Structure 1
């Protein structure tokens, strides 16, 4: 199931979009303003964002730029504005599509499906965190000059965290995702592998860090530059 972020301060718009998207099997996570949407994304991974331009606290242009900086997901901007200059600003901020209000809900649905198809075709095996590049296809981590030779589980753990920067993973989630459902070993193995990764990439703390959230788990934070 694909998860959608829907950020709009108009409750009627949210209800309409929610109805159409849930009917098609999408899970919709709602926010009433840009700041609430940004906070939601830190704790809930989403696959596509539908965001209104005119929102309080953080407008759609700012939220779009924030998403582009921290996440690799498609973005659709909703707005009552139709001027070319507004569309230009939206695309410069990184939106993938632009829908002007009022709109037909079915058209929005078609655009969501089209973006998912486009992103699926363009999905890359490459994850970049400034100087560090993770190549999932060739199972390599490099800094542009040298390749780090990581044991497989360290590589898989790093790739899993880096694929969703800012998302908090519990130890149980990481064991299930990296070691598998049938793993019966000590759950302290996650801590051990995290510590090894920190040691290996200690010189790249300006690019990213693996943070511990006490009592919950771990997340990768990519530094802003």
Structure 2
């Protein structure tokens, strides 16, 4: 099935450039001119990824991303006119999977989108587990105990990398390279945002030890056991 990409931008020229690039790459396209239109479009049918402009009137991209995250874990790629790390970090903390700064190369945008979609699709027919954590690579699903752990595509990739080598400490630069495909524009602060998101989601389910930080070395998977009195 052809992936459906929702383009959300108040500039019709930008939407047109992105639409042409995506259609040439064999991807399906849905368009919305603002955040509310984006939410309406998601209600009308399945969407595989959202390309979301930050600087829209009324409901900006960050507010729209918050609303999307309340109903879906669909991958989100931000478009922004500002190359500001603070804005990028905020976007990742809201659950974005990547960021592209305007003016952008349509070819690069397509490659970024395909990379996110690739991370979101499991290619190995295996179920992995550690403690109460279970990751099903076929279904792209993760659970803690009997509870669903809702993750974005990038968060899922980060946790899967850690689960591949339980007990081992993974260097942060190696983690960035594996999780983001060597995307040099992504920083350690970006990785930190995704780690915070995973920890917060796991903590809400009663698990406070899912990811451990080894100072000066890197990250490793924790015990993944529920805290006392959490249920």
Q: Which residue of 2 aligns with 1:33?
A: 34
Cα deviation per residue 1:37-90 (whole Å; 9 max; x = unaligned)?
A: 111111121000000001122111111122222112111000001111111111
Conserved? CA contact 2:120–2:140, under 8 Å: no
Q: Which residue of 2 aligns with 1:124?
A: 140
CA gap of 1:133–1:98, structure 2 versus 1, over 3 A, is closer
In structure 1, C-alpha distance between the alignment counterparts of 2:12 and 2:118, rounded to whole Å: 29
What displacement does 1:126 show? 5.0
Conserved? CA contact 2:54–2:60, under 8 Å: yes
How do residues 152-163 of structure 1 correspond to structure 2 at under 5 angstroms? none
Structure 1 position 64 matched with structure 2 position 80? no
Cα deviation per residue 1:127-164 (whole Å; 9 max; x = unaligned)?
A: 89xx8659xxxxxxxxxxxxxxxxxxxxxxxxxxxxxx
Q: Which residue of 1 aligns with 2:86?
A: 85
Q: Which residue of 1 aligns with 2:76?
A: 75
Conserved? CA contact 1:81–1:100, under 8 Å: yes
Give the alignment's Cα RMSD to 1 decimal: 2.0
Conserved? CA contact 1:35–1:57, under 8 Å: no
Q: Which residue of 2 aligns with 1:54?
A: 55
CA gap of 1:3–1:87, structure 2 versus 1, over 3 A, is same
Conserved? CA contact 1:75–1:97, under 8 Å: yes
Which protein is bigger by CA-based radius of gyration? 1
In structure 2, C-alpha distance between the alignment counterparts of 1:119 and 1:49, rounded to whole Å: 13
In structure 2, C-alpha distance between the alignment counterparts of 1:133 and 1:89, rounded to whole Å: 25
In structure 1, C-alpha distance between the alignment counterparts of 2:24 and 2:9, rounded to whole Å: 19
Q: Which residue of 2 aligns with 1:16?
A: 17
CA gap of 1:37–1:83, structure 2 versus 1, over 3 A, is same
In structure 2, C-alpha distance between the alignment counterparts of 1:106 and 1:92, rounded to whole Å: 26
What displacement does 1:99 show? 0.4
Secondary structure of the residue that 2:79 maps to in structure 1?
A: strand
Instruction: Could you tell me which runs of 5 or more consecutive residues in structure 1 were left unpaired when the two chains were aligned.
Output: 135-225
In structure 1, C-alpha distance between the alignment counterparts of 2:79 and 2:50, rounded to whole Å: 10
Secondary structure of the residue that 1:70 maps to in structure 2?
A: coil
In structure 1, C-alpha distance between the alignment counterparts of 2:52 and 2:85, rounded to whole Å: 18
Q: Which residue of 2 aligns with 1:160?
A: none
How do residues 76-115 of structure 1 correspond to structure 2 at under 5 angstroms? 76-115=77-116
* Count of matched residue positions in the alignment of Structure 1 and Structure 2: 132
In structure 2, C-alpha distance between the alignment counterparts of 1:77 and 1:68, rounded to whole Å: 14
